[in-house]
């Protein structure tokens, strides 16, 4: 199954490939201020793949906060948050904001509230390497 989506204006396009149905995937509601303000409900599959396609990486790079190791894919034009990406051991890993997917309504399971505030940098990277999807960013000029 491939779930497609992106931001409102079309600058960011995301593709999430998994063998699992939407209701079989974990649905997480991070309790940090960023995710709460964006209404984010994220998912990932360590056996799947996420591809973000952009015309160009935003000037100054992607938004980062907290411990500063993760790129948050927030469109510089329309402000939609489509997912997050981190490099762990030379490999990209990502989560997708299900609300940015065309099939968002298929994710009908209740989300699990998550609080990552007490994680160390090393612990956070290890968790993301373990449960986030393999990922890559593809720059494709329009």
| Average pLDDT score over residue span 42-64 | 96
Is 44's pLDDT higher than 90? yes
- pLDDT digits over 57-107, tens only? 999 999 999 999 999 999 999 999 999 999 999 999 999 999 999 999 999
Report yes or no: 99 and 91 within 8 Å, Cβ to Cβ. no
Distance CA 49, CA 141 (A): 22
The DSSP output letter for 36 is: H
Strand bridging mode 49-54 / 12-17: antiparallel
Domains along the chain with CATH numbers: 2-139 (2.170.150.70)
Report yes or no: 50 and 133 within 8 Å, Cβ to Cβ. yes
What are φ and ψ of residue 43, in 5° steps? -145, 165
- Model pTM score: 0.95
């Amino acid at each position: 199954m491939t779930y497609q989506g992106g931001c409102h204006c079309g600058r960011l396009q995301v593709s999430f490939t998994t063998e699992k149905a939407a209701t079989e995937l974990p649905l997480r509601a991070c309790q940090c201020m960023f995710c709460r303000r964006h209404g984010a409900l994220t998912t990932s599959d360590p056996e799947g793949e996420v591809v973000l396609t952009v015309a160009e990486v935003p000037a100054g790079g992607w938004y980062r906060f907290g411990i500063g190791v993760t790129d948050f894919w927030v469109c510089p034009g329309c402000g939609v948050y489509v997912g997050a990406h981190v490099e762990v051991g030379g490999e990209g890993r990502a989560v997708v904001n299900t609300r940015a997917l065309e099939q968002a309504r298929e994710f009908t399971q209740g989300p699990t509230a998550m609080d990552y505030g007490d994680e160390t940098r090393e612990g956070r990277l290890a968790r993301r390497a373990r449960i986030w999807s393999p990922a890559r960013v593809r720059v494709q000029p329009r």
